[in-house]
Structure formats: C-alpha cells, structure tokens
Chains A and B, each alone.
Chain A
Amino acid sequence: MSETNPAVERYLARFTEALPGVSAAERGEMVHEIRSHIAEALFAGRDAAEVLAKLGPAERLAAAYRAELLLNRPPSSAGRLARIGLVSALAGTSLLSLLVISLLASVALSFVVSGLAVFLVGLGLPLIPEPLVSSPFTRGQSQVIMMVVGAVSLVLGLAAAMGLWAYVRFAGRTVQGLLARIRTRVAAPAV
C-alpha cells in the first residue's frame, strides 16, 4: 500500500492497542492480515469508511481474535491447574522428605554412635578401673550386656541409614520426574 489513509491507520492503531497479552509476533501477523484485507478492499474500489464499518469496531475485532485464541488453547487454564497440582505434589513430597529424612538421619546417627560407644566400652570394660563402675552385675555379665546392646543399637542405626539412603534415592527420582513435568508444562505456549 503506497498511500496511507489516516482513518485506516487510526483503526489499526486501536486494533493493536486492544490486543494486550498477545505476543508481538502474533499481533504483527494479525495487524498484517487486517491491513491486507483493507488494502484489497480499497484496491477493489470500496470506500475506506465502509470497509472499516464492515470490519466492525477495532476493539470488537480484537476481542474476537482474543476469544478465538483462548478457544484454541484450553490447556491454558487446565495446564495452569495441572501445574498447581504438580507443584503441590512437589511441595508435599518435600515436606514429607523433610520429616522422613530428619527422623531417619537422627535415628541412624544416634544409634550408630551410641551403639558403637556402648559396644566399645563393653569390649574395653576389663581395662576400666574398678571404682569407676558400680553395677548389680558381675563384670563379665556387664561386658556381655553392653556388647549385645551396643551391637543391636549399631544394627538398628545402620538399618536406619540404609533406609535413609533408599528414601533419598526414591525422593530424588520423584522430584526429578515432577520437575521435568512442570518444565514441559511451563514450556507449553501461553497466551
């Protein structure tokens, strides 16, 4: 179009302004096709005012475009809901992880350390001077009890540590999966 018509330019400016939230590229295409329609009509000898009237108010035309774009993208709202669900799942998993991991870690650490300590003390009991330990048991009995209790505690602590390891691996995989799904949701086109 060589000559520019002020009424047409005003119309297209209003049309452009009424398309907020539409990407610049998409908006450019829309303006381009409406401009092309007007140019074709003027070329066919129609009057600019009549052509613009037939197109309807610029704001209504823009609203029709936006409505069609929304119609075409039902995943937009559904996707948002799904994303909220995924993020909640992630938050839930994280909260649960916090509880499980802190519980298992403290059990593992305290049982292993105290079990080891009790076992070692039991093992070294004969070396400890008599007045330091007063007990209803004989030294031999004390030694056996301490070594057994220490060993049991050590085994429990190690079991908790293994449970912790398994849980961390499981949670890691779950979180990675959730994150990947959230990322693909976010990557989906939004209006």
Chain B
Amino acid sequence: MATADWLTQTRKGLLELCILALIEGEPTYGYEIVTRLAAAPPLAAGEGTIYPLLRRLREEGWLRTYWKESEAGPPRQYYELTASGSRRLVELRSQWTGLTGAVAGALNGRLKPQREQR
C-alpha cells in the first residue's frame, strides 16, 4: 500500500506535465486525453482524476477549451495550450530534465561526498 501512496503523490505533479505535453501538438478532447494517459499504466490514475486536473489547468490559464461537434459521436470539449501554457510546459520540461538527472545521480550513488578528491 505504501508504494501505491508514494506513486499517487509522485504522479500528481507529473500528470500535469504529461497533459500539457500531450496537448502541445494539437487540440485534444477530454476523452482522448484520458484514454491516452490510461494507456501508460504507471501514469494511469483513475479516469476520474484527469478531469478535475484539466479544470484546474484551465483555471490557471494554461489551457483553453471549446466545444465542437464530432462527425459521428457526441459533441467534444477540446483542450488547447494557451501562450502561458506553452511557457509553463517549457518550464516544467526543463525542471523535469534537471530532476531526472539528479534522481538518477542519487540512485547511482553519484551524489555521495567524494572526500578522496584532494
């Protein structure tokens, strides 16, 4: 259970980055975002966790939404990045790169003090 809790905590911030990255290329509708994230099992929080997150990202001004009819199915709410959303994504990306490097270093023991270097 402890591992699942840890994953939940870690995933929360990462989902935000993943959603921004997923939408970056082209506007995407909610159901597609949810199912594409669900296809990556370690990321796949319940489908219900994505919509509240999308709403917050929208309120933060990083996403904007619009409704559009689909050819055959029901109308879809599309999400796209705003200018500040794009800036946010660039920021989070570089943070993530720095983090993964540092974490990899810690896991490989490279962050330990090296006293013999004198």
Q: Which candidate, A38-46, A143-151, A179-187, is the interface stretch facing chain B?
A: A38-46
Q: Which of A37, A51, A61 has the most CB of B within 10 A?
A: A37
The B interface is mostly helix, strand or loop, or mixed, namely: helix
| Contact between A72 and B31, CB atoms less than 8 A apart | no
Bits for A1-34, please: 1 = Cβ < 8 Å to B, else 0. 1000000000000000000000000000010111
- Residue interface mask A148-168, B partner, CB < 8 A = 1: 000000000000000000000
Q: Which residue of B lies closest to A39 (CB)?
A: B74
Chain A contact surface mostly: helix
Return the CB mask of A70-103 against B: 1 if under 8 Å, else 0: 0110000000000000000000000000000000
The reply to whether the CB of A130 lies closer than 8 angstroms to some CB of chain B is: no
How many chain A residues touch B (CB < 8 A): the figure is 25
Contact of B52 among A1, A32, A41, A68 (CB under 8 A): A68
What 1/0 flags go to B29-73 for Cβ under 8 Å of A? 111001000000000001111011111100110000000000011
A72 to B72, CA, bound (A): 35
Q: How far is the CA of A186 from the CA of B46 in the complex (A)?
A: 37
Indicate if B98 sits at the interface (CB-CB under 8 A).
no
Contacts of A33 in B (CB 8 A): 30, 51, 54-55, 77
CB pairs A–B below 8 angstroms (14 shown): A1-B74, A33-B30, A33-B54, A33-B55, A33-B77, A36-B31, A40-B30, A40-B31, A43-B74, A56-B46, A56-B48, A67-B52, A68-B55, A72-B56
